[in-house]
Amino acid sequence: MTPATRLDLDPDQAPEPATGSWLERRLPVGRALRREYRDYPLPRNLNALWFFGAFAVVTLAAMIVTGICLALHYTPTEAGAFDSVEAIIRRVPSGWILRSVHMAGASCFFAVLYVHIFRGLYYGSYKAPREVLWLSGFVALLMVMATAFFGYVLPWGQMSYWGAVVVGNAVAAIPLIGHPLAGMLLGGDAPGAATPMRFFVLHMLCGGLICAVLFIHIAALHVTGSNNPAGIEPRSPADTLPMHPFYTTKDGVGLCLFLAVLLGLAFLAPALLTEADNYLPANPLLTPPDITPEWYFTPFYALLRSVPSRLGGLLLAGAALAVVAAVPWLDRAPTRSARFRPLARPAWFAMAASFLLLGLAGSHEATGFWLWLGRLAGLYWFLHFLVLLPLIARIERPLPLPTSLA
């Protein structure tokens, strides 16, 4: 045997393997991707509501790309913020497309997240062993809400400025730490010269944190597996299908329809979901007749205004989110899916209606009918999570569950 054909050659002198196999042995990314995505088993009965997780990831990617492009031309100063946004729209090549997609993307992102959350509430995706999955998604929602608020202030229009005033006043109502915290956030007692720069930094920082939390959320999903409309765990290989090609093709069709809606809003109706007053430069001396936030904040804005106390309104809005985070421990029923829960199902529809009514009340002046509508809808929201869910879990007789997903 010649030295060139011996099997006991020094490894450093052995023939170099193919690049792919060499890299795969040292960093097995391809194998991990095949295991966790291409061949990953999913329940075979997932419906179209499971598309919205993919929609959220694609929308987040679009928001990050367009946000970075917009940041290259944005001037985070009191004097230059509004003019730089106008310059992006009118003078930067394709700038109006970037801003329109970013604005429409924010609304579509929240619409997707709300559907994703309410789907989880209906099918019991928060129940054991998926508590960490639910909590990581809740943290992601909080980060998205903070990022959206910081971004809403950046154009420095009328609604942007006065929205910052409302939130600053609400934060200042917190005992002991409220005034220092509001001062740190706004850069003073009221929105001023330091506010655009601080909100710009926080907006970009929170965007990165969303990606980190989303990574944890997806990792938790792959540890516990996906829930399904029946709410039972797969019991055999016949109950599952590999992600590719069965669900990648379905997600692809859904994404085409979703992107058609997103781009339709961006190209044909970019101002449909925003306030016209925000196209006017900020004027601290002229208060708008009705300060209205973007539609995705209106349910919590209704709660913020439902009581005369600023601190009380802030606590109510925070508690409305906290009960959603605590739902795995509030609902102790062993059956997950509301399909098989004759009492939980109508209660879920009433809860979803109360959220829509809160949004409707928050988009109108806090007087008369709209004020009381917001109060009653908010009352049912808390009643559902704190009273009805624990009570229903005790008295409900669920329908028989299927023995298999197949």
Residues annotated within a binding site: 102, 116, 203, 217, 222
Q: How far is CA 46 from CA 63, 229, 257, 405, in A?
A: 27, 6, 18, 10
Cis peptide leading into 289, omega within 30 of 0? Answer: no
Residues belonging to the binding site for a ubiquinone are 222
Residue appearing with tokens 């060139």? 4
Q: Which of 39, 35, 404 is CA-nearest to residue 228?
A: 404
User: Which is the catalytic residue, given 73, 179, 250, 364?
Assistant: 250
- Nearest 5°: the CA angle 354, 386, 132 is 95
Cα–Cα distance measured from residue 81 to residue 73, given in angstroms and rounded to the nearest whole number: 10
Cα–Cα distance measured from residue 326 to residue 318, given in angstroms and rounded to the nearest whole number: 12
Q: How far is CA 369 from CA 37, 365, 366, in A?
A: 51, 9, 8
Q: Is residue 6 classed as helix, strand or coil in its secondary structure?
A: coil
Strand partners, 240: 43
Residue appearing with tokens 């998604």? 137
User: Which is the catalytic residue, given 78, 277, 294, 331?
Assistant: 294
User: Which is the catalytic residue, given 100, 136, 160, 226?
Assistant: 226
In what helix (H) or strand (E) does residue 53 lie, and over which residues does it extend?
A: helix 51-71
User: Which is the catalytic residue, given 78, 239, 251, 277?
Assistant: 251
Please report, for the chain, how many H helices and E strands are present, in that order: 16, 2
Alpha carbon of residue 2 to chain centroid = 65
Alpha carbon of residue 154 to chain centroid = 20
Active site residue 364: no
User: Which is the catalytic residue, given 222, 290, 309, 404?
Assistant: 222
Active site residue 250: yes
- 337-342-348-350 Cα dihedral, nearest 10 degrees: 170
Active site residue 36: no
Active site residue 251: yes
Per-residue three-class SS string for 136-161: HHHHHHHHHHHHHHHHHHCCCEHHHH
Which pair of structure tokens corresponds to residue 247?
A: 């669900």
Residues belonging to the binding site for heme b are 102, 116, 203, 217
Active site residue 244: no
Q: Which residues belong to the active site?
A: 222, 226, 250-251, 294
